[in-house]
Structure 1
Amino acid sequence: MSTPIIVGNWKMNGLSADSADRAKQIVDSLATVPAAGVEVVVCPPFTQLALLGPLLKDTPVAMGAQDCHKDDKGAHTGDIAPSMLTDLGTTHVILGHSERRRDHEEVDETVREKTVSAMKAGLTPIVCIGETEDQRQSGQTEDTLGWQIKGSLPDGFAGIVAYEPVWAIGTGLAATIEDITNTVAFIRAELVRQFGDAGKSLRILYGGSVDANNAAGILAIPDVAGALVGGASLKPDAFLTIIRAVPAR
């Protein structure tokens, strides 16, 4: 059985004082009431990685990043190389988030190239896939996810897949338990089709308006190995409630 993992995506939120305070609250709470058997990762903005790295070192909370470049160095103004992330103590990186695909016109090939570089650097890539409301309404969910899996995940993929329906991100509208169950089953079948037996053990997360109220139901779905949490991860109490909602497996 895969180890459950809860990932907090802080997105473009957090100055030094409040980021450090948020991280400290999470670490202190987990030290007091450990979340046994659950991996916890927080992904702050790039500007906070150097600050939080020492604060999170040797704690139950790992540090992730929200993106990386496909190259390890070079003339890419404003970009961050995978080795720069590991140099700061980062262990995970979110790639292909729908906001990156939308705001920066990232396509599957771009995500695939970044994923390859992240794995070479020793990072665990968390690759996001998900359909839009239009794709959902027109019955294209499975076709969309199938193409994203094929295009975004390289041969030998050894990371995590995060299913985040675009229409649920930041809207307060999570998919139903039935929807998530059926869609995750499809994703699992696609992973097995593409990677064979290795696809059976790749972890699948759900993301999209996960909060303290709906987490328990979502995390109880057998093939959901955890959650990629957005807005609720900025509130330590809510984030900790989600972590503790992970059922024993």
Structure 2
Amino acid sequence: MTDRIRPLLAGNWKMNGTRASLDQIKAIAEGVKAPLSEKIDTLLCPPATLLYVATALCDDSPLAIGAQDCHSLVSGAHTGDISAAMIADCFGTHVIVGHSERRRNHAESDALVRAKAEAALTAELTTIICIGETADERDQGQTLDVLKRQLAASTPDGAASETTVIAYEPVWAIGTGKVPTSADVEEAHAFIRRELVARFGGDGEKFRLLYGGSVSGANAADLLAVANVNGLLVGGQSLKAADFLAIYSAFERQFA
């Protein structure tokens, strides 16, 4: 993990969580505390139905609350969608765009992901842009080609390290329990770093690069030890406070 980059731990609840889950959010908020909270940023992205209540629960906590997706437009006749402005209006501070499940299940193109990211930046939300290869693409040796294409086409020209985070999530590792080797993660993150530097110059060195895909308390410390891994994007292991806080505590080793 690059020392000069402040790490980020983000949890994505996906389509999980009801009012009964607020106790877990409260427990996570209470567990995210100094001295570690002074050294890393921590984020939880519950479903939109819990967004406003969750921000209220975390009002006195370093735990930030964000959303899992946004529309590319501010408002309009788009039934069921939520705009970046609406997220900000609920006091959300972050939004995830381009997650592989959105790309696959909703046929979201790189161009649409870019438009969503642009909308999020306009609403002054920190934007987490997800990229990653499928199992077939990996088997065909196309991993870096896919990352290059998705990164270039999904990231707005106005992106900057202070407002944009890149998450590498190999699709084949999400929810499967399979995790790439440290060497594989290092290769992917080094490639993403080089591409960002080539496009954004010195600021490309400062973007936070997250790894996501079957992250757990058991493997978090090893993943964080990989060069250019500046944090983690966690799925299922963020639903329970005990699991998420176990991953949170793994960051302590980076400052020992």
- TM-score of Structure 1 vs Structure 2, range by shorter chain: over 0.9
Tell me the TM-score normalised to structure 2 length. Answer: 0.94
- Over residues 27-62 of structure 1, what are the superposed CA-to-partner deviations in whole Å (9 max), with x where a residue is unaligned? 222248753311000000011112212111131100
- Over residues 128-176 of structure 1, what are the superposed CA-to-partner deviations in whole Å (9 max), with x where a residue is unaligned? 0000000001010010000001100010212000000000000001111
Q: How does 1:28-67 map to 2 (within 5 A)?
A: 28-31=30-33, 34-67=36-69
In structure 1, runs of 5+ residues without a counterpart are none
Amino acid of the structure 2 residue aligned with 1:76: H
Distance across 1 between alignment mates of 2:66 and 2:31: 19
| Pairing partner for 1:227 from 205, 229, 232 | 232
Distance across 1 between alignment mates of 2:36 and 2:46: 22
Q: How does 1:161-240 map to 2 (within 5 A)?
A: 161-240=166-245
Aligned identity (percent) is 50
Provide the residue aligned with 1:244 in structure 2.
249
| Pairing partner for 1:4 from 3, 7, 12 | 7
Seen in structure 2, the aligned counterparts of structure 1 residues 34 and 197 have a Cα distance that, compared at 3 Å, is closer
Give the number of aligned pairs.
248
- Over residues 52-77 of structure 1, what are the superposed CA-to-partner deviations in whole Å (9 max), with x where a residue is unaligned? 12111131100010000000111111
| Pairing partner for 2:102 from 84, 100, 103 | 100
**Helix, strand or coil for the counterpart of 2:128?**
strand
Amino acid of the structure 2 residue aligned with 1:248: F
Say if 1:163 and 1:207, in contact at 8 Å, map to a contact too: yes
- Over residues 3-36 of structure 1, what are the superposed CA-to-partner deviations in whole Å (9 max), with x where a residue is unaligned? 1010000000001122x10111112222487533
Distance across 2 between alignment mates of 1:36 and 1:121: 26
Q: Which runs of 4+ in 1 moved over 6 A?
A: none
Distance across 2 between alignment mates of 1:75 and 1:7: 31
Say if 1:16 and 1:51, in contact at 8 Å, map to a contact too: no
- Over residues 162-212 of structure 1, what are the superposed CA-to-partner deviations in whole Å (9 max), with x where a residue is unaligned? 000000000001111111011100110111112121111111000000001
**Helix, strand or coil for the counterpart of 1:128?**
strand
In structure 2, runs of 5+ residues without a counterpart are none
Tell me the TM-score normalised to structure 1 length. Answer: 0.97
Seen in structure 2, the aligned counterparts of structure 1 residues 193 and 235 have a Cα distance that, compared at 3 Å, is same
**1:248 to partner: Cα distance:** 1.8
**Helix, strand or coil for the counterpart of 1:180?**
helix
Say if 1:160 and 1:204, in contact at 8 Å, map to a contact too: yes
The answer as to 2:23 corresponding to 1:16 is: no
Distance across 2 between alignment mates of 1:95 and 1:184: 19
